[in-house]
Structure 1
Amino acid sequence: MQFRHDVRLLRQRATCFLGTLALCMGPALSAEEASMAPEARVARVEAGLSTPVMVKGAVGGKMDLQQRMAFHNVPAVSIALIDQGRVQWARAYGVTSADGENAASVTPDTLFQAASVSKAVSAVGALVLLQQRRLSLDAPANDQLTAWKIPDNDFTRAKPVSLRMLLNHSAGMTVHGYLGYAQGQPLPTLVQVLDGTAPANSDPVRVDVLPGSLWRYSGGGYGVVQLLMAEAAGQPFDRYMQQSVLGPLGMKHSTFAVALPPSQDNTAASGHTADGHAVAGRWHRYPESAAAGLWTTPSDLAQVVLEVQRAADGSAGTLLSHDTAQTMLTRGLGEYGLGLYVEDLGDRTSFSHSGGTTGFRSQLYGYTHSGQGAVIMTNSDNGAALIGEILASISAEYGWPEFKVIEKLAIPGDAARNRQLAGRYALLGKTAELIAEGDRLYLQSDVLGAARRELHAQSATSFFMTEQDMVLNVPPVTDGRTSRFELVSGANTYAATRLE
């Protein structure tokens, strides 16, 4: 079990009541102000980054984007900002690779792996086939499959798997995500992936709980979606998506091709591990295309946000009808609709998806009714934390109702107490270390990333960090040191025990 770095789970909500809606939406701009606004607003976003939590009264709380890229060891970040129902600006920062050999300055047209954001785009493609009556949401999936079928067992005989369940992650299917394949490794076919047979490096995709009984994220389920779509379309998945989704939406830089064509290879960013090294071979390949295989840019992905917004708000969508968009944005089990996380905020609905493959992290975010949103892509395993800080800055500049920064009051550190807490612990199967440096205390754990996190005391037995909204609690000290601690993240509590 690992902590999820999904930005959706780190956001902080602030409700916009009708009486303060204008304030939440931000001040109205005159035509002259609007024409001058983009560059000034970009500059404020670049200079306005903040961690999700801040120490109340701390000096110099806002930070510069380039400074935070260096802090998080993220070589490149690319951003597309949506406001008033269109892409207002797109900017890219940094280099495609930190190893020097393949380094070039990134541009808004530089390709990144979308990772699990691919699921949102794939879901659009599945819903297009639904509108064409080539797929059914609620008929048994096996009735729509020919080359391979979901193996029957007591669970599927009690309740068949449907496309709606697969898109909602409620089909009871296994395999959370995929590792991808390094350059030179043989690629399995989709059927080999589904059956977990060589050269696939993942387990078989199977139903192990009653379909429709619980929400559980399953990249494996989207492998079944991929096969359903290819068979319904009568052509390979990547070709169908190019002709029926990417092309019509004007996503001219995007592709689901497992191997990038030479013309696009040189325009792609290299992935980077948490320690800052480029991924061997620059990136992994993902034949699990619907789940994780999209190469794209933030500006291209923004077209998906705009399509959902237009259709959901009743305007003419290029691909989706109003009814289809409403279906996509209606929660099934969990906090998920069809291909998107969904949150009802009263005056609007937020829809989002994050993604992470080896060396890449990305985030798509949009709102209905307000015409706002953003897509942020990075080429580092450390990218999620930076994305959260960028979203906080965007939220402050554009009056979003979420990603508000929390302020917490800290008390002075206690050097003697810190020495009692210092030591090595076991946390979620990995080593974690509490490090005392005088009146300052730090937590270092690979569960949270390579960097150590400063812990700020809010009482003698409770500490908070600023990089994530997490609290570390310790029991009263006995025999001169503590034997355990608990790390609390939202409703989840993770216990750690001392190793020495």
Structure 2
Amino acid sequence: MKKTLIILLAISIISCEKLEINKLQKTAHQDSLRTHMNSVLNNLKPFHYLKGKVQKQTIEGLMQKYNVPGLRIVFTNKGKISWSKSYGYANLKDSIKVDKNTVFQGASLGKPVTSMAALNLVEKGVLELDEDVNNKLKGWKVPTNEFTKKEKVTLRRLIGHTSGFNRYYGANYMPNEKLPTIVQTLNGEKPSKHPAVKLIAVPGEKYTYSNPGYLITEKLMEDVTGKKFENIIDELVFKPSDMKNSSFQQPAPKHLMDVSAIGYSENLQPYYYNIISFKAAGAILTTPDDLAKFTSTLIEDHKNGTNIILSKEMISKVFNRGSRLEKLGFTLFNWKDDIAFRHTGHNYGFTSFMFGSVNKEQSLIIMTNGSNTHELFSQILYAVATEYNWDYFKSNEYEPIDISGKDLNVFTGHFDWHGKKIIITNELDNLFLQIDNSRFKLVPVGTNTFLAPENSLLITFPENLENEIKTIHIWDRNNDNHTINKMY
């Protein structure tokens, strides 16, 4: 008996020690996550900046600067939400704060959701990626013209924005207005407020971002299943991914409307609730936490072949290394061994951002009820990239160099940047950049490289300056490269 008590006591002590160790490990893990989170949220910087000359920003600071009422950010790692945080207000008038249950209009973030559901139907044999969609469409057909003589509109081209259809996205509808059918919208017939969809290029020939293309995808999915679009998405994406606070239903379901944020303009004027007739293109109501489940599910399907939404073979076609003409639902960035995916969403008073790393199995989702968020989203992305070593989007730090004695006149001239007039002048041995009516000093950071710190523009000139300069390169605050032609 005594021996038994000693054994039980020993087991109890060991169990207590294990519990304490587990508790300490959990606390240490939580502390680590908190450190990572705070490092991101409080260290926002532009993409290009001068060493020692940039003041780190916070999310609250940039929200105040750009009049963004509310925001929620979620970061996922290895299939789970790693950390998240809410800021500001979902409703300014009633002082209702944003929290994890706040529903936002996701706008075009619904496009990758739609694409994955369509690809699921391909795997089920209901649709084909490269079949002429006119073979399956009922009650409306893609108009035939000179653009469709040799190439046809296919599902692959619709969801990849290479179908040849135009870009427009028109007005939404107030709750008291009569809503058009899909066919009325496609034909531009009343009560639709939109013009008829129009083919403007040979299918498959070039990339043209197209909301009408996704409206046709919506109709195609309804025609082949005999179900409402929102029910198709519920069945193929939302339920399998456990996305309980998301819907494409229009008008929006009451349980989501009750917790929805109000959208605001740049000068903080509220937008009235309106109904979006382009469901697949921009009607998704959701939360950042639900979208985090969506991105995590796709990454898990790709990494482990879980087949929750798509098979490993099909999701590999989504996360591909092909050209822009081979994209299926996401904008992709191929960098070394990694593939990064991105999509943005913009509707009246709402902006959203989704970004992920396939190889690192991480994703970032931000949703707001504000309109002016470009710089805010960009700087959050750069902070995440720096903290988690996504080297393709880390901020770049530069140091000024001395180029005294160099003839700066070789860099001067008038340039055309997509319709914007760019003038570079030499004034008392200092270069200045003028874009329309804004003026910035250029700081030399390389032999033929200059930085405009105020707006994070990097300008590179040709290495050989003996010949007349015909083009220069401008790297903007998103590190996108623009080739600019010299006018004179």
TM normalised by structure 1 equals 0.77
Partner of 1:128: 120
Matches within 5 A, 1:35-434: 35-55=30-50, 57-59=51-53, 61-97=55-91, 100-175=92-167, 177-184=168-175, 185-273=177-265, 275-281=266-272, 283-330=273-320, 333-334=323-324, 337-409=327-399
Displacement of 1:307 in angstroms is: 1.6
Query: How far off its partner does 1:395 sit?
Result: 1.6
Q: For residue 27 of structure 1, what is the aligned residue in structure 2?
A: none
Q: Which moved more, 1:314-323 or 1:333-342?
A: 333-342
Rounded Cα–Cα distance in structure 2 between residues aligned with 1:178 and 1:472:
34
Give how far 1:464 is off: 4.3
Q: Structure 2: which 5+ runs fail to align?
A: 1-24, 403-414, 425-429, 462-470
Q: Identify the range of structure 1 (128-137 vs 189-198) with the bigger mean alpha-carbon deviation.
A: 189-198
Write the deviation string for residues 167-226 of structure 1: whole angstroms up to 9, x where unpaired: 111111112x41441535543322222222333333322222211112222121111111
Q: Look up the equivalent residue of 1:329 and give its one-letter code.
A: F
Equivalent AA in structure 2 for residue 259 of structure 1: P
Structure 1 residues 170 and 70 mapped into 2: Cα distance closer, same or farther (>3 Å)? same
Which of 132-141 and 355-364 deviates more? 355-364
Distance in 2 of aligned mates of 1:179 and 1:364 = 23
Rounded to whole Å, the distance in 1 between the matches of 2:284 and 2:110 is 5
Change (3 A) 1:467 1:235: farther
TM-superposed CA distance for 1:84, in Å, is 2.6
Q: CA deviation at 1:441?
A: 8.1
* Root-mean-square deviation over aligned CA pairs: 3.9
- Aligned equivalents of 1:430, 1:219: Cα separation in 2: 27
2:473–2:481 Cα contact (<8 Å) kept: no
Work out whether residues 470 and 487 of structure 1, in 8 Å CA contact, stay in contact via their aligned partners in 2.
no
Q: By how many angstroms is 1:467 displaced?
A: 7.2
Aligned partner of 1:33 in structure 2 is 28
Provide the identity percentage: 26
CA deviations 1:216-257 (Å, max 9, x no partner) are 221211111111111122111112212321122111111112
- In the aligned structure 1, how far is the partner of 2:291 from the partner of 2:192? 29
The answer to whether the 8 Å contact 2:103/2:261 transfers is yes
Cα distance per residue 1:275-333 (max 9 Å; x no partner): 3223431x543211111111111111112211211111233131211111112223555
Q: Distance between the aligned counterparts of 1:494 and 1:194, measured in 2?
A: 38
Q: In the TM superposition, what is the alpha-carbon distance from 1:344 to its structure 2 partner? A: 2.6
State the AA in 2 paired with 1:470: L
Q: 1:272 to 1:137 in 2, by over 3 A?
A: same
Contact 1:258/1:287, CA 8 A, preserved across alignment: yes
Looking at structure 1, the residues matched to 336 and 486 of structure 2 have their Cα atoms a distance apart, in angstroms, of: 39
TM-score (norm 2): 0.79
Residue 48 of structure 1 and its aligned partner are, at CA, apart by 1.1
The amino acid of 1:44's aligned partner reads S
Instruction: Count matched residues.
Output: 445
d(CA) in 2 for partners of 1:311, 1:205 = 35
Greater RCO (Cα-Cα under 8 Å, separation 6 or more): 1
Matched residues in 1 for 2:231 and 2:298: separation?
22
Give the Cα separation in 2 of the matches to 1:494 and 1:113: 36
| Secondary structure of the corresponding residue to residue 271 of structure 1 | coil
Say if 1:178 and 1:219, in contact at 8 Å, map to a contact too: yes
Shift, 1:336, TM fit: 5.2
Structure 1's 287 and 151: CA in aligned 2 closer, same or farther, altered over 3 A?
A: same
SS state at 2:180 partner: coil
Structure exhibiting the larger radius of gyration computed from Cα positions:
2
Q: Which runs of 5+ in 1 are unaligned?
A: 1-29, 413-424, 447-451, 475-484
Partner secondary structure for residue 89 of structure 1 = strand
Within 1, Cα distance between the matches of 2:401 and 2:260?
47
